[in-house]
């Protein structure tokens, strides 16, 4: 609640910061930020909001904002180079492209359509297409520009690294079970077992 008794609520999916009248439910937008706004606090009548990317902004009058702490990466776990030469990073709640000059471009996030989940591993698999592993134990084919993902395997134990080999062979590191797996047409085959916390995998 603000000092006048209104509810102030960050909307993670839309990035809006709303002011809600608890008497009648009437809403007004205090500010529009990128999706991923996750918390807020008041310092007197000053309002500060945080974001999944680590950004902190102050909401000023008239919907203006002031960046207190710039955005960055929160938990980058894997990266790949796409056909276009850009570097792509899976950062848990976000999937970014790193553009020339180091600018981060958000391609997908936890609450956007088709996002496969908290991404831990990524490898480019053609134009605009990626194979990803998630914290939910899934392997998916992800197309961020189309807002869609296709699950290739699920129910695995703490997946991390993923590699794409000859003839589009998908291989993943399964940390929880200490294995390296091959995933093809929904079938999972064990390539190696008895490992201690495998995090990454690559083809020579």
pLDDT at residue 154 in the model: 95
Other CB atoms within 10 Å distance of the CB of residue 102: 7
Q: Is the pTM above the cut of 0.85?
A: no
Both tokens of 78, joined, read 């894997």
Tens-binned pLDDT, residue by residue, of the chain (204 aa):
999 999 999 998 889 999 999 999 999 999 999 888 989 999 989 999 998 888 899 999 888 999 998 887 888 999 999 999 999 999 988 899 998 888 888 899 888 889 999 999 999 999 999 999 999 999 999 999 999 999 999 999 999 999 999 888 999 999 999 999 999 987 999 999 999 999 999 999
Contact, 55 vs 65, CB < 8 A?
Answer: no
Sign of CA dihedral 135, 137, 139, 145: negative
pLDDT at residue 196 in the model: 96
Q: Dihedrals φ, ψ of 186, to 5°?
A: 85, -10
Query: 97 exposed, middle or buried (CB, 10 Å; 0-12, 13-18, 19+)?
Result: middle
pLDDT at residue 72 in the model: 79
pLDDT at residue 175 in the model: 97
pLDDT at residue 53 in the model: 80
pLDDT at residue 122 in the model: 97
pLDDT at residue 163 in the model: 97
Contact, 131 vs 144, CB < 8 A?
Answer: no
């Amino acid at each position: 609640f603000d000092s006048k008794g209104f509810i102030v609520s960050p909307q993670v999916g839309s990035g809006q910061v709303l002011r809600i009248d608890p008497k009648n439910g009437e809403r007004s937008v205090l500010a529009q930020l990128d999706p991923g706004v996750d918390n807020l606090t008041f310092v007197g009548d000053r309002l500060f909001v945080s974001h999944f990317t680590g950004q902190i902004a102050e909401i000023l009058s008239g919907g203006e904002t002031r960046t207190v702490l710039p955005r960055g990466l929160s938990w980058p776990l894997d990266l790949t180079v796409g056909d276009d030469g850009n570097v792509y990073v899976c950062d848990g709640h976000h999937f970014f492209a790193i553009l020339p000059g180091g600018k981060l471009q958000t391609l997908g996030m936890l609450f956007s359509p088709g996002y496969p989940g908290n991404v831990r591993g990524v490898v480019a698999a053609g134009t605009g297409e990626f194979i990803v592993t998630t914290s939910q134990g899934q392997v998916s084919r992800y197309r961020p520009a189309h807002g869609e993902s296709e699950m290739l395997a699920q129910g695995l134990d703490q997946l991390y690294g993923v590699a794409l080999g000859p003839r589009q062979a998908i291989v993943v590191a399964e940390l929880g079970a200490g294995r390296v797996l091959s995933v093809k047409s929904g079938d999972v085959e064990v390539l190696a077992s008895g490992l201690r916390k495998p995090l990454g995998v690559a083809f020579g």
